[in-house]
Amino acid sequence: MTKKESGFSVNPWEVSGKIDYDKLVKEFGVQLIDDKMITLIKNLTKKELSPMLRRRIFFAHRDLKPILDEYKKGNKFFLYTGCGPSGPIHLGHLGTWVFTKWLQDAFDVELWFQFTDDEKFLFKDKSYEEIQEWTYQNMLDVIALGFDPKKTHFLVDTKHANLLYPEAIKVAKKITFSTVKGAFGFDDSRNIGEIFYTSMQAAPVIVPCVLKKKKIPCLIPLAIDQDPHFRVARDVYPKLGYPKPAIIHGMFLPPLTGNEGKMSSSNANVAILTTDTEEEVKKKINKYAFSGGRDTLEEHRKLGGNPDVDVCFQYLKFLFEPDDKKLEQIYRDYKSGKMLSGELKSYTIEKINSFLKEHQKKREEAKKLVETFLYKG
Amino acid sequence: MTKKESGFSVNPWEVSGKIDYDKLVKEFGVQLIDDKMITLIKNLTKKELSPMLRRRIFFAHRDLKPILDEYKKGNKFFLYTGCGPSGPIHLGHLGTWVFTKWLQDAFDVELWFQFTDDEKFLFKDKSYEEIQEWTYQNMLDVIALGFDPKKTHFLVDTKHANLLYPEAIKVAKKITFSTVKGAFGFDDSRNIGEIFYTSMQAAPVIVPCVLKKKKIPCLIPLAIDQDPHFRVARDVYPKLGYPKPAIIHGMFLPPLTGNEGKMSSSNANVAILTTDTEEEVKKKINKYAFSGGRDTLEEHRKLGGNPDVDVCFQYLKFLFEPDDKKLEQIYRDYKSGKMLSGELKSYTIEKINSFLKEHQKKREEAKKLVETFLYKG
């Protein structure tokens, strides 16, 4: 489906327009997470269900059932997710990782975390050195989220190429340029590193199996724009003797400007960075956060606001208000006109700043932990 | 130029037809090695000139002059050559390596030797494991040729990906699929590893510079079918801040069947393997070696043979008769009819077997040296 036809575009290198997730589910051929699946997960984990599952922010999947059935039998999966290091981390990055941490804790499993420095170097007009610096900076944010260092292994594509490249070429041998063209819309003017890259992103599904000399099932939490990589690779794994990975797909945190596209660090005005000060957060939310409120106080009190398009409400729903009752109350109060836009903004600013204060402290402490997280093998 | 137009084809994955080297020089845009260049090399080295240079088996080059001028000033180059490990080593492989050893000794320089196991895995219908076994087997042949272990470093693409991949992506970022299509005749049905591969072959020009943190000129001795890789990559190096490598091109040792294509191990009847027994060599030469002799003894004595198409004579010229006077005498005697085909074959068999006896002994000893040659860094 082209953007022209659907009004939006979702692929690893572009997320734009107003995303219709129902259409996307059909287009990508993924399954919605239903109540039965939620119950299955609840029964398998001791921990309280992640708000992101309760609220269906992680809303779709591929092959999740068989991996959970295996887990029930005592056959643990490992988690694999990643980060494309080309700029500062913003709130939009955190959703997948916060959810991944929940999965790690709830299922007590290993996590392989890939930093795709090669991808960002190949696709962006940035120098190798700049990408290396962002790789380091982004690691600090990931570590700050509290992953278990004993069960979390960082793979950096250029630093762990000895592990990744041999598996990547096995995947690559079974993917033609025609396939990649179809999946990503590439043409002949693409550089040959971009064309090869999807096989590097496919490799971490195999690497832990090779290292531990056994076939371990893999669960990949990702934002749904990354799905095309695995759509290309997933048929290849069985040909190489490995199980297809399961995937669980998340929605995009909207940018400050409203419910189109996703938060991105290419425009600092539409993103809240993890390194922003309290004042910056306050200013960005107050100045840029798209509001579902009415034009005047009178109108708002009378007609009520629209929380479904209000960016602050979305941030609370995605990440910053884990209490369902509190969130529902805000929804009702805002919709009825009892809660004003300014109040919703203040509440959200406070929540974000409280999170960032702690995050920034842990981010500093993370500097001592980078070596611990980097896989040594 | 297509094979249809020229009657022959020379690229990294196909050498066929009767090769017209003059046409090839024009098509590839390389320079012939002239007497002036030979004199320059003579003056720079203390060692007797390699027969392969005297006889212009290494016959063409790119940018050889500047690298020799730098050498004269005390700025040493390093050598880079390689081996695509997909089968047993035959006499056709040896030419480039024997000449490379001469270069290493004559100029007293380091050699980086790449085993392109990724290439052979990606391009051949062979398993990863089989390619790994050939990589090891081929290393034994390379070591047996007597390279200086203190100055020779083996790089295996999948084992040294940590060194090669970061440089390969820098090259890859500057090469489009259009370029690769043009250079190698690829279409969209090629696998994405094949498309990327040329950047892995380009990387060893950069790796020693990165490791030693200085720009070291590079000289690449190769059989001319490998030239297209560097034709694609050579314009990229200056963009990355490295000098263009110099290249010196060798001709192909003919297969037993005559002066078309090159010796290849895909057909054991047209190749003499380094592991062949004395009997096998004798049988292969007597049974298959294309002869420039006449149909009957009488005719041969009367009209003489044709050493220029005689495969045995070519083998002597390429590798097994370093004595120019002796070679000329054989040429004259064979042409005049004084020397018979049977005599030429016997002489060649003896020469080859004498070489292989020594080679096979050294090949056994090489098993203890593999670890020494593999680059540790």
The tens digit of pLDDT for each residue in B300-336 reads 999 999 999 999 999 999 999 999 999 999 999 999 9
Per the domain annotation, does B377 fall within a domain? no
Stretch A235-239: mean pLDDT: 96
CATH number of the domain encompassing residue B163: 3.40.50.620
Q: Is residue A33 located within the same domain as residue A119?
A: yes
Q: Is residue A235 located within the same domain as residue A274?
A: no
Question: Predicted confidence band at A261 (pLDDT cuts at 50, 70, 90)?
Answer: confident
Return the number of CB contacts < 8 Å for A and B: 118
Per the domain annotation, does A373 fall within a domain? no
Q: Is residue B278 located within the same domain as residue B245?
A: no
Stretch B67-95: mean pLDDT: 97
Which pLDDT does position A1 carry in this prediction? Answer: 47
pLDDT over 90 for what percent of chain A? 93
Q: Is residue B15 located within the same domain as residue B117?
A: yes
Per the domain annotation, does A181 fall within a domain? yes
Last residue of a domain, one of A224, A251, A278: A251
Domains in chain B: how many in total?
2
Per the domain annotation, does A106 fall within a domain? yes
Q: What does the mean pLDDT of chain B come to?
A: 95
Q: Is residue B166 located within the same domain as residue B291?
A: no
Per the domain annotation, does B41 fall within a domain? yes
> Is the minimum CB–CB distance between B236 and chain A shorter than 8 Å?
no
Per the domain annotation, does A256 fall within a domain? no
Query: pLDDT of A305-358, one tens digit each?
Result: 999 999 999 999 999 999 999 999 999 999 999 999 999 999 999 999 999 999
Query: pLDDT of B81-92, one tens digit each?
Result: 999 999 999 999
How close does chain A come to B124, measured CA to CA in Å?
Answer: 10
Q: Is residue B247 located within the same domain as residue B272?
A: no
Per the domain annotation, does A257 fall within a domain? no
Contact at CB, A191 and B175, closer than 8 angstroms? yes
Q: Is residue A279 located within the same domain as residue A209?
A: no
ipTM of model over 0.85: yes
Which pLDDT does position A4 carry in this prediction? Answer: 56
> Is the minimum CB–CB distance between B239 and chain A shorter than 8 Å?
no
Q: Is residue A247 located within the same domain as residue A288?
A: no
Q: Is A250 helix (H, G, I), strand (E, B) or coil?
A: strand
Q: Is residue B14 located within the same domain as residue B89?
A: yes
Contact at CB, A121 and B173, closer than 8 angstroms? yes
Mutation pick from A86, A192, A232, A374 vs chain B, by most beta carbons of B within 10 Å, is A192
According to DSSP, the β-strands at A58-62 and A246-250 are: antiparallel
How close does chain B come to A112, measured CA to CA in Å?
Answer: 18
Query: pLDDT of A61-94, one tens digit each?
Result: 999 999 999 999 999 999 999 999 999 999 999 9
Q: Above 90 in pLDDT, residue A198?
A: yes
Q: Is residue A77 located within the same domain as residue A126?
A: yes
Per the domain annotation, does B277 fall within a domain? yes
Boundaries of domain holding B345? 268-365
Q: Is residue A137 located within the same domain as residue A207?
A: yes
CATH number of the domain encompassing residue A284: 1.10.240.10
Contact at CB, B161 and A164, closer than 8 angstroms? yes
Q: Is residue A106 located within the same domain as residue A227?
A: yes
pTM for the model stands at 0.96
How close does chain B come to A115, measured CA to CA in Å?
Answer: 14
Stretch B149-168: mean pLDDT: 98
Which pLDDT does position B1 carry in this prediction? Answer: 47
